[in-house]
Structure 1
Amino acid sequence: MDAYQYVKDKQLIIFELDDVLFPEKDYLLQVYYLFAQFIEYTEQKNAQPIISFMQTEYEKAGSAELFEKTAKQFGIDEKYKHNFDLLHQNARLPLKLLLYKNMLDFMQELVVDRKLIVIVTAGNPEQQLNKIKQTEWNGLEQYLTVYFTEELNLPKSEIFQNILNNNNLPANKALVVGANNFDEQQSKLINLPYIVSLEIYK
């Protein structure tokens, strides 16, 4: 199914970042790799088992308490939690983050059709900005406007409404592309059309 059918009558498209434009794990697994390398350098512990453990634990249970699990498994001092957290915010990735291929094609069509593209992303603003800076946008970056929800300290629904107001658009002329129920609920609060990003990957 052609994803572009969803936006024929729209003027503005709002995207989340993680697991919408690219897989969040592509960022996190590189952070874990860099952390393991850092521990190898500072504590002379072999990085490879640490990398393997973190990847397995992440895929099994997500990122919650991953430092604590890894520290317990490998006898890593609690003081390195600071370095672990800091890497999430300012890591220089070995590899650039790549957009989902279908999403790249979709966004390029939006630009050609002169539709407005906005990113509204939750999470630590410094970390989210770091992801954006290290994404291969293929020239799309000049067409993006980005809002960080934690920086604005507003519910997503209010941010969505402010974006509509700033562009003098009714809700039916915009679309939110998200990846979770929360984004859908926030969109529905202001009658903003919503699709889950997986629809675009079909």
Structure 2
Amino acid sequence: MLMSAREAEEGLVDTIRRAPGAHQATIIMICPTRGFRNANDAAQAGSLGDLLRGREFEDILIAAQDHDLAVADAHAGALPLCRTMERLRHTRLLQRAQLRTWIARGLEVGQVAGAGHIRWGKAISGLTGRLGEFTARYAGPAQPRGHRIVIEVDGGRPATGYFDVQGQPLDPEAVISNRARLRAEMAALLRSFAASTRLPCIQPSLL
């Protein structure tokens, strides 16, 4: 990620560091007096090309304003081509909202997520989301605390028997502590199940 020093000072770096897999991120700041600097190692400062040399990247995000954005554009030739390249040049409030969306979309090493449009709706009990054959449903408060989310197939049957790419079974029920995260957590579960494989139950041999 490439950002201005002002954005870093206002908490964007901390937002990134709180995200899962943040240790794999390279954060480079645009400093008015020192050029480019690695946010994780103040001793690493210099040209953008020098700081990126020898590294491999899958995604690049630029968050800067005004003069700093012009500096980033002037050195864009040093940026490698990546799977995803985005530039945030909105107000700082919108930058933070976009950054949260960008982080939430990221995948850790070995993680796979199903693509596609999630159809959101309202049921009597609350929010629902559908992706392919799967339905995520808010199932009410959990005991002793939290909120339940269930993943269903075939019109209401729990989505059991599904495994991720590592061969680990996926739990069709989850409990979250913060209801404000309900839609994001439901979306993550739906995409996990959409990328999973259903293995048939193996009956023991009757010998």
TM-score by length of 1: 0.28
Structure with the higher fraction of residues in helix conformation: 1
Q: Which has the higher contact order (CA 8 A, sep 6+)?
A: 1
Q: Which has the higher strand share?
A: 2
Larger Rg: 2
Give me the TM-score of the superposition, normalised by structure 2.
0.28
